[in-house]
Copies of this chain bind each other. A is one copy, B any other.
């Protein structure tokens, strides 16, 4: 993509309304556009990051054996009366009357509808276990939306639901999702600690939240430092070990129960990006979602639900990956892998060299944003650091003299001077393109 053509409306000044760094940087880099209070449009660079995150989430859900579905955003109030949540939910639920004055609502989560699907279509013990997920927009009418996409009203969520015959089956599903979550966040370059969680409005007992470590996090968490390693490496996850290690949010942390030696207990701030929990027959009971067992008996389904805040993750990623100059994207979720800077635009030789590099990268399937604009080198450096692509290739007067181009790695700031060929080979190896 050529930057001269790309719709990337960066701001020179810090927007006044943004209180936290991710919100500020998302507005400054033109990733989002505020449409209403707590409601954002995603501009091209924001959309690209969102799609990369969606895709990683989808791949790991699929790998865990969950099947993708898509439920509507507008749902009937009647369905939510069956669970009792229509009245319980309060003002956070966006309630709507359609043209026939039927009561509808904008789905804030989807236990009711997925249980309705299950009771109508999952009939036999042979039909379970089943896990179904969707990546769909949700709405919660926060009284005071803030922090940009971190606490917006309209937000993108991955929600998965499991159906099993009993507690033992549900535990297997739960553990699969736990593992999928570790892999998902690890692929994004995040350290996300699963901590014991309050089951909240939905209820249940087996319940963990995933907290992304970031100095700016809203919660304080206490955890066994052995967790760090497990969650970072992803790969083969030792679920037994993982579940045996202590981790709790401040409100649930009890020094009397916590057996982790003091020198092994870490304290850190975290941002909640996911939540997994088992809630037994909380919904299947009122919905009469049951299957026929081997001997003709009726078995009420045991369910769990598993959420990831997909749009929130964009904010969390930035909170965990930035410096004073801007964003530092982990490679797996970067909008582009390489930023190519033409430092002498208008110079025939420099333009030709940049075009050549641009096309070589495209041929190698490297995602590249080519800054071909007629701007000063200093402005281009600052802009590229701000938007935070992992790699920068700088081509200018010196390149024409020495034949060498500069490659900068945004995360460390390290700059290497290499011949064009070595540079492309180096990137090929590092980027794996």
Residues of A at the B interface (CB closer than 8 Å) are: 4-7, 9, 30, 33, 35-36, 39-44, 46-48, 50-51, 65, 67-76, 79, 91-92, 94, 96, 98-99, 102, 104, 106, 113, 116-117, 120-121, 126, 130, 132, 137, 139, 141, 143, 153-154
Contacts of A69 in B (CB 8 A): 7, 41-44, 47
Which secondary structure dominates where chain A touches chain B?
mixed
Residue from the set A36, A42, A126 with the largest chain B CB neighbour count within 10 Å: A36
Q: Closest Cβ of chain B: how far from A227's Cβ, in Å? A: 32
Q: A201 to B426: give the CA distance in the assembly, Å.
A: 56
Contacts of A79 in B (CB 8 A): 35
| Interchain CB contact under 8 A, B120 and A33 | yes
Contacts of A44 in B (CB 8 A): 67-69, 132
| Interchain CB contact under 8 A, A72 and B113 | no
| Interchain CB contact under 8 A, B35 and A72 | yes
Instruction: Pull 16 A–B residue pairs with CB atoms less than 8 Å apart, ordered by A.
Output: A7-B130, A9-B121, A33-B120, A35-B72, A35-B75, A35-B76, A36-B76, A39-B72, A39-B74, A42-B70, A44-B69, A50-B70, A74-B153, A96-B96, A99-B141, A137-B137
Q: A44 to B70: give the CA distance in the assembly, Å.
A: 8
| Interchain CB contact under 8 A, A47 and B72 | no
Q: Closest Cβ of chain B: how far from A72's Cβ, in Å? A: 5
Query: Which B residue's beta carbon lies closest to that of A118?
Result: B7
| Interchain CB contact under 8 A, B43 and A74 | no
Q: Closest Cβ of chain B: how far from A155's Cβ, in Å? A: 10
Q: A40 to B154: give the CA distance in the assembly, Å.
A: 20
State which of B65, B67, B98, B139 has its C-beta within 8 Å of the C-beta of A141. B98
Q: Closest Cβ of chain B: how far from A133's Cβ, in Å? A: 10
Contacts of A139 in B (CB 8 A): 74
Contacts of A141 in B (CB 8 A): 98-99
Q: A71 to B5: give the CA distance in the assembly, Å.
A: 20
| Interchain CB contact under 8 A, B121 and A33 | yes
Query: Which B residue's beta carbon lies closest to that of A143?
Result: B99
| Interchain CB contact under 8 A, B99 and A154 | no
Q: Closest Cβ of chain B: how far from A103's Cβ, in Å? A: 11
Q: Closest Cβ of chain B: how far from A361's Cβ, in Å? A: 17
Q: Closest Cβ of chain B: how far from A404's Cβ, in Å? A: 32
With A7-B132, A141-B99 in contact, do A74 and B113 touch (Cβ < 8 Å)? no
State which of B76, B102, B116, B117 has its C-beta within 8 Å of the C-beta of A43. B117
Q: A40 to B106: give the CA distance in the assembly, Å.
A: 14
Q: A113 to B9: give the CA distance in the assembly, Å.
A: 16
Q: A36 to B78: give the CA distance in the assembly, Å.
A: 10
Q: A132 to B75: give the CA distance in the assembly, Å.
A: 30
